Amino acid sequence: MKLWMVYGARALVLLWAGFWTFFFVASVVVEGAPGHVVVVGAAVLLLFVILALVPWRWEAAGGQRFRNQVQEFRQVL
């Protein structure tokens, strides 16, 4: 995979997670959400962060293993 594609995908993931983090924090500050809403929102934000960082750390979880298997299959043919 080309290096610019890797960095581009990582930047896109960071922008995605950063937007939703900003959206959550801004909506809690402006609307003054009750405690249970803040807890549920924080859990969702944690999920977003996990979804952003797992493929970054372990590229096989982000599709790298599948891409390698396809390349191996094409070589067999």
Q: What is the pLDDT of residue 37?
A: 81
Neighbours of 71 (CB within 10 A): 9
Q: What is the pLDDT of residue 74?
A: 72
In angstroms, the CA 17 to CA 53 distance is: 10
Helices (H), 2-34: 3-31
The encoded tokens of residue 30 equal: 């402006």
pLDDT in tens, 58-70: 766 556 666 666 6
pLDDT in tens, 11-70: 888 888 888 888 888 888 888 778 888 888 888 888 888 877 777 777 665 566 666 666
Range of the domain at 43: 3-76
Domain count, the chain: 1
In terms of pTM, does the model score above 0.75?
no
Cβ 52 vs Cβ 17: under 8 Å:
yes
